Amino acid sequence: MADIIQLLPDHVANQIAAGEVVQRPASVVKELLENSIDAGGTSIKLIVKDAGKTLIQVIDNGKGMSATDARLSFERHATSKIRSAEDLFSLNTKGFRGEALASIAAIAHVELKTKQDQDELGTVIEIEGSDIKNQELVVTPTGTSLCVKHLFFNIPARRNFLKSNNVELRHIVDEFHRLALAHPDIEFLMYHNGSESFNLPISNYRQRVVNIFGNKTNEKLVPVEEETEVLKISGFVGKPEFAKRTRTEQFFFVNNRFIKSPYLNHSINAAFEGLIKDGSHPSYFLNLTVDPKSIDINIHPTKTEIKFDDEHTLYAILRSAVKHSLGQFNIAPVLDFDRDRNLDTPYDFENKKATTPSVEVDRSFNPFQEEKIQSKSNSYSSSYRKEPASQWESLYVGLESKGTKTENDFSEIQFESQPENESLFNGDKQVETTQRTYQLHNKYIISTIKSGMMILDQHRAHQRVLYEGLLKHLTVKESVSQQLLFPLNLDFSSSEMGILNNLKEDLEHTGFVFSSFKDQTIEITGVPINVPESEVSIILEQLISDVEHEVPDSNFSATDLLAKSLAKSLAIKTGQSLTQLEQEHLVNSLFACKEPTVSPTNKVTFITMNVDDFDKKFI
Ligand code: ADP
Ligand code: MG
């Protein structure tokens, strides 16, 4: 038989290896920033265009390279950081595999300019897809500048696979944050498409956190300090009242390296137990220092996981250190271990005054009159309950239920009985008392239909109803908003402000009224009719995170994303019990929609089961 094994040509082998190291623009950013940190730079500048798809450049004032080293640095397994396997155990650099530059050069156009302090002239090298195009002497400042253009130019499949600029930029900013937080002793600057995104001067750790996450972060931070034989902890946790809906402010660093550890994250959650709402995440910025011999850093370049020798001890120390800090700063009510937990006031009742119960009789109450709006409530669920008709209808004005219903294929879904059409006292006919909908586990609504029954997911169905209503508001650009009694001030980081700024006009079309929109604060004087004031910040936070993580699909648009995000935030949740009237309203509203079968994110909203199916089961 003929031989079938062939050696891969170098450029193919390099491209494959590059795939491991470079998955997206953010991977390049991480590798270049790490190299600059390893080179001892005290000022590092990151310049990005089109979320890194067009340009990524990192400029440092570190030690630079000699002409020979500059050339060698692009060879695979060329590293100045380790000489023998032994060195792996006393590692204090970020890189050591000597693969990053070789990989990046295999799949992009790269220009390196570098000069050592003692040299008069530096070196410039230009490489395209591993081919050296040029090398010469050049006038350049001490340090290194690495410029990466046209990433994945020779692997179109990879290039096409990149996500939208919002998503790729989010990944870049994440890497930038991680490294900047781990090194407050280095100045970091970042520019995107010509404008400054971050300017982080050398500072203490607290100031670094504040410079990244916005001025208002300062008042949120509670210091955590602890030193034991096995572990030193320093850093901050966020006060419980500032817990976020997303996990964007959770950072662990072990020996200056960012790591992800669900286990240690759990220990922080345990320390916050009872202090924050379910579904919220405490912020934390914690540096752990341990003996390098007691950890095993997974040396895969893209992984950030780590294995500790004695995880259980770390867990316990971390939890108690955080608990202690929260207690010391008077944030947790007690640290008395013998105390009966049942006697603690739940966090959300803490600041409420006790009120004397009173019996009030509404003399004008007429049980035969239709329910009227009674009071304005803060909580969505109660306001939703009290004003079902007005609230529902405001969301799908203009969507004529009858008209659209017949246009769709849902004509086969016929509801079993239609009491509205029958008069209440219909001769000798019995009064119609059949209940038409049932709620199952506060999650599904079951309705009988001619052919059998229909089971509807309340959260998804409501999302669909809200989504179509919001889209309508956004496209006709007329919306109803409710004026707030007092303006609401909300703080955001500069990158969050950037996202909100892009969506400002659309948000206004949904009913938001902004009286000021500058620096890191926005002032809101009006909100969409359906949005309770207390939820505004959560809704905007969710929106920002949806924009940052959105996966583009063919019909992607900012408007669509906004409508999806708001619908998700505002829709009634699983677990919420609904009155008979609300259930029926939901079913009717869903079938008044243009696309009732799926939620805005394309998940099934209801299923039907035929009597035949039941019959088969009863054989
Ligand atoms: P590694 O960082 O794992 O050693 P890289 O491919 O990232 O591998 O870099 C190869 C070598 O190039 C490094 O070991 C270092 O000597 C040199 N180098 C890379 N970037 C810089 C820089 N910004 N300043 C000085 N030297 C650098
Ligand atoms: Mg490196």
The pLDDT score that the predictor gives to residue 419 is 44
What atom of ligand 1 comes closest to residue 98's alpha carbon? 8
pLDDT in tens, 219-232: 899 999 999 988 99
CA distance 596 to 593: 5
Percent of the chain with pLDDT over 90: 38
- Top-confidence residue, 337 or 3: 3
Tell me, rounded to whole angstroms, the distance of Cα 56 from its chain centroid. Answer: 24
The pLDDT score that the predictor gives to residue 415 is 63
Is 49 near ligand 1, meaning CB less than 6 Å away?
no
CA of 79, nearest ligand number: 1
Is 79 near ligand 1, meaning CB less than 6 Å away?
yes
Torsional class of 477: left (φ above 0), alpha (ψ -120 to 50), beta (otherwise)? left
Tell me, rounded to whole angstroms, the distance of Cα 222 from its chain centroid. Answer: 23
Is 142 near ligand 1, meaning CB less than 6 Å away?
no
The pLDDT score that the predictor gives to residue 96 is 64
Spacing, Cα 212 to ligand 1 middle (Å): 27
Is 101 near ligand 1, meaning CB less than 6 Å away?
yes
- Top-confidence residue, 157 or 209: 209
Which amino acid type is present at position 403? G
How many CA atoms, within 13 angstroms, populate the side-chain half-sphere of residue 599?
19
The pLDDT score that the predictor gives to residue 173 is 94
Is 100 near ligand 1, meaning CB less than 6 Å away?
yes
Ligand 1 mutation pick, 38, 63, 186, 297, max ligand atoms within 8 A of CB: 38
Percent of the chain with pLDDT over 70: 74
Give me the sign of the Cα torsion angle 422, 425, 427, 429: positive
Spacing, Cα 497 to ligand 2 middle (Å): 33
pLDDT tier for residue 88 given thresholds of 50, 70 and 90: low
Q: Which single residue is written with the structure tokens 């996450």?
A: 213
CA distance 211 to 194: 20
List strands edge to edge, sheet with 43-49.
131-138, 122-128, 109-115, 143-149, 55-60, 43-49, 187-192, 195-200
* Among protein residues, the one whose CA lies closest to atom 25 of ligand 1: 64
pLDDT in tens, 159-211: 888 888 888 998 999 999 999 999 999 999 999 999 899 999 999 999 999 99
The pLDDT score that the predictor gives to residue 200 is 96
Spacing, Cα 551 to ligand 2 middle (Å): 29
Poorest-pLDDT segment among 68-82, 206-220, 286-300, 450-464: 286-300
Is 39 near ligand 1, meaning CB less than 6 Å away?
yes
Poorest-pLDDT segment among 28-32, 214-218, 528-532: 528-532
The pLDDT score that the predictor gives to residue 510 is 85
CA distance 582 to 586: 6
Is 122 near ligand 1, meaning CB less than 6 Å away?
no
* Among protein residues, the one whose CA lies closest to atom 9 of ligand 1: 98
Alpha-carbon dihedral 554, 469, 527, 513, rounded to 10 degrees? 60
Poorest-pLDDT segment among 27-31, 68-72, 295-299, 492-496: 295-299
Query: Nearest 5°: phi and psi at 521?
Result: -130, 140
The pLDDT score that the predictor gives to residue 486 is 84
The pLDDT score that the predictor gives to residue 569 is 86
Spacing, Cα 88 to ligand 2 middle (Å): 15
Ranked by mean pLDDT, which of 114-118, 130-134, 270-274, 601-605 comes out on top? 114-118
Spacing, Cα 130 to ligand 1 middle (Å): 16
Spacing, Cα 24 to ligand 1 middle (Å): 20
Evaluate if pTM is beyond 0.75.
no
Which amino acid type is present at position 458? Q
Average pLDDT of the residues in 312-332:
86
Query: Is 478's pLDDT higher than 90?
Result: no
Average pLDDT of the residues in 57-69:
96
| Token representation of residue 228 | 């034991």
The pLDDT score that the predictor gives to residue 489 is 87
Which amino acid type is present at position 197? S
β partners of residue 288? 233, 254
Give me the sign of the Cα torsion angle 243, 244, 246, 252: negative
Three-state secondary structure call for residue 113: strand
CA nearest 511: which of 542, 492, 489, 533?
Answer: 533
pLDDT tier for residue 332 given thresholds of 50, 70 and 90: low
CB burial of 518-548 (b: ≥16 within 10 Å; e: otherwise) equals eebebebbbbbbbbbeebbbbbbbbbbbbbb
pLDDT in tens, 419-451: 444 444 444 443 344 558 899 999 999 998 888
List strands edge to edge, sheet with 437-440.
437-440, 444-449, 452-457, 606-610
The pLDDT score that the predictor gives to residue 378 is 39
* Among protein residues, the one whose CA lies closest to atom 16 of ligand 1: 80
What atom of ligand 1 comes closest to residue 146's alpha carbon? 23
* Among protein residues, the one whose CA lies closest to atom 19 of ligand 1: 35
Query: Is 355's pLDDT higher than 70?
Result: no
The count of other CB atoms within 10 Å of the CB of residue 513 is 18
Query: Is 337's pLDDT higher than 60?
Result: no
pLDDT tier for residue 396 given thresholds of 50, 70 and 90: very low
pLDDT in tens, 95-140: 666 788 999 999 999 999 999 999 999 999 999 988 899 999 999 9
Is 31 near ligand 1, meaning CB less than 6 Å away?
yes
CB burial of 105-119 (b: ≥16 within 10 Å; e: otherwise) equals bbbbbbbbbbbbeeb
Which amino acid type is present at position 34? E
What atom of ligand 1 comes closest to residue 60's alpha carbon? 23
pLDDT tier for residue 294 given thresholds of 50, 70 and 90: confident
Average pLDDT of the residues in 285-313:
76
What atom of ligand 1 comes closest to residue 58's alpha carbon? 23
DSSP 456-514: EEHHHHHHHHHHHHHHHHHHHT---EEEEEEEEEEE--HHHHHHHHHHHHHHHHHT-EE
Spacing, Cα 76 to ligand 2 middle (Å): 11
- Top-confidence residue, 146 or 219: 146
Ligand 1 mutation pick, 22, 101, 111, 257, max ligand atoms within 8 A of CB: 101
Average pLDDT of the residues in 479-483:
81
Ligand 1 mutation pick, 57, 69, 77, 79, max ligand atoms within 8 A of CB: 79
